[in-house]
């Protein structure tokens, strides 16, 4: 990335439209429910359109799909599509991969190939949508590969906008989004950087406790407008955890310019604003770079 030219790095954006296959029919139902939840009925941009948008904003971004084929039946967007786009637009984009842990050793083999052949820089897990307990041993082959290469992982935590309002919540089990379920992973993989996505409501204090307790645990602030953040998020950002929190939007569900406007009005101290928006992510994604 051209780090000096970027005003921020968005650690949490989604690839929601593939350029290679028709939109998945099951995904359509989840999208309609999510549009109501997020009050965002805009058409999802393609990966190319997202790149152009972020380049115009001078915001770097991490993009991933979510592989939830076992949990939802939704055909995933290929990790290769995201990774190739990032490789061709490395000035602005970083690719994370997503592999359903139910794929076991086959998934671990895919992870190794994506790292070595496509240069992915991290991984995304969404336990409620992927229908797995974060400490389930079936995920170990994946974790072991990720840890071997020293890459960061993002775990969805807290409430899920996906499935909200659908019959039976779309089959999504919120219990797997409880942050403390990731604590055992942080203990057994102490050198793997773990990012707890979102303010983790209704378990916000668990995420804050973990970030205070474990050097390898961070929090991204995506999925909510900062004007709705639980007050303890801002309190700890302004004190003990300003170096452990990261800007994330959850694009395309929340646009970064909307998130940023609310961020500057939410009460974050000026001294922590730049670290949250950029330098914390630089240290995490590019440990050899000068923030």
Domains of the chain (ranges; CATH) run 3-285 (3.20.20.140)
CA distance 247 to 113: 29
Which residue reads 């939840």 in tokens? 37
Residues in the chain: 291
- Summary count for the chain: helices (H), strands (E): 13, 8
pLDDT of residue 160: 84
pLDDT of residue 290: 60
Q: Are 180 and 206 in contact (CB under 8 A)?
A: yes
- Distances in Å between the Cα of 250 and the Cα atoms of 25, 60, 168, 199, 235 are 22, 14, 23, 12, 22
- Distances in Å between the Cα of 232 and the Cα atoms of 3, 150, 226, 229, 267 are 30, 31, 12, 8, 12
pLDDT of residue 161: 75
Is the pTM higher than 0.85? The answer reads: yes
pLDDT of residue 22: 60
Residue-by-residue pLDDT tens, the chain, 291 positions? 889 999 999 999 999 765 555 666 656 656 666 667 777 666 778 999 999 999 999 999 999 999 977 767 777 789 999 999 999 999 999 999 999 999 999 999 999 999 999 999 999 999 999 999 999 999 999 999 999 999 999 999 999 877 677 788 877 899 999 999 999 999 999 999 999 999 999 999 999 999 999 999 999 999 999 999 999 999 999 999 999 999 999 999 999 999 999 999 999 999 999 999 999 999 999 988 765
SS3 245: strand
pLDDT of residue 2: 85
CA distance 279 to 190: 22
Which residue reads 């499935």 in tokens? 163
User: Taking the CA atoms of the chain, what radius of gyration do you get in angstroms?
Assistant: 17
């Amino acid at each position: 990335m051209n780090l000096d030219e970027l005003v921020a790095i968005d650690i949490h954006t989604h690839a929601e439209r593939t350029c290679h296959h028709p939109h998945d029919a099951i995904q359509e139902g989840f999208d309609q429910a999510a549009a109501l939840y997020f009050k965002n009925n805009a058409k999802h941009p393609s990966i190319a359109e997202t790149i152009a948008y972020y380049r115009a904003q001078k915001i770097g971004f991490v993009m991933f799909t979510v592989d939830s084929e076992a949990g939802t039946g939704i055909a995933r967007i290929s990790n290769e599509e995201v990774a190739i786009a990032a490789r061709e637009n490395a000035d602005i984009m970083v690719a994370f991969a997503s592999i359903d842990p139910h794929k076991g050793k086959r998934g671990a083999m895919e992870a190794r190939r994506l790292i070595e052949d496509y240069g992915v820089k991290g991984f995304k897990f969404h336990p409620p949508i992927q229908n797995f307990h974060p400490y389930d041993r079936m995920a170990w082959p994946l974790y072991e590969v990720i840890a071997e290469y020293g890459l960061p992982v993002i775990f969805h935590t807290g409430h899920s906008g996906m499935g909200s309002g659908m019959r039976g919540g779309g089959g999504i089990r919120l219990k797997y989004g409880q942050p403390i379920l990731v604590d055992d992973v942080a203990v057994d993989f102490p050198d793997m950087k773990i990012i707890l996505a979102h303010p983790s409501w209704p378990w916000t204090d668990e995420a804050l406790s973990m970030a205070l307790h474990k050097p390898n645990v961070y929090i991204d602030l995506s999925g909510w407008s900062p004007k709705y953040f639980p007050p303890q998020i801002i309190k700890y950002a302004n004190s003990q955890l300003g170096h452990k929190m990261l800007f994330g939007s959850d694009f395309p569900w929340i646009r970064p310019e909307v998130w940023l406007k609310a961020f500057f009005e939410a009460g974050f101290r000026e001294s922590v604003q730049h670290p949250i928006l950029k330098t914390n992510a630089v240290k995490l994604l590019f440990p050899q770079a000068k923030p």
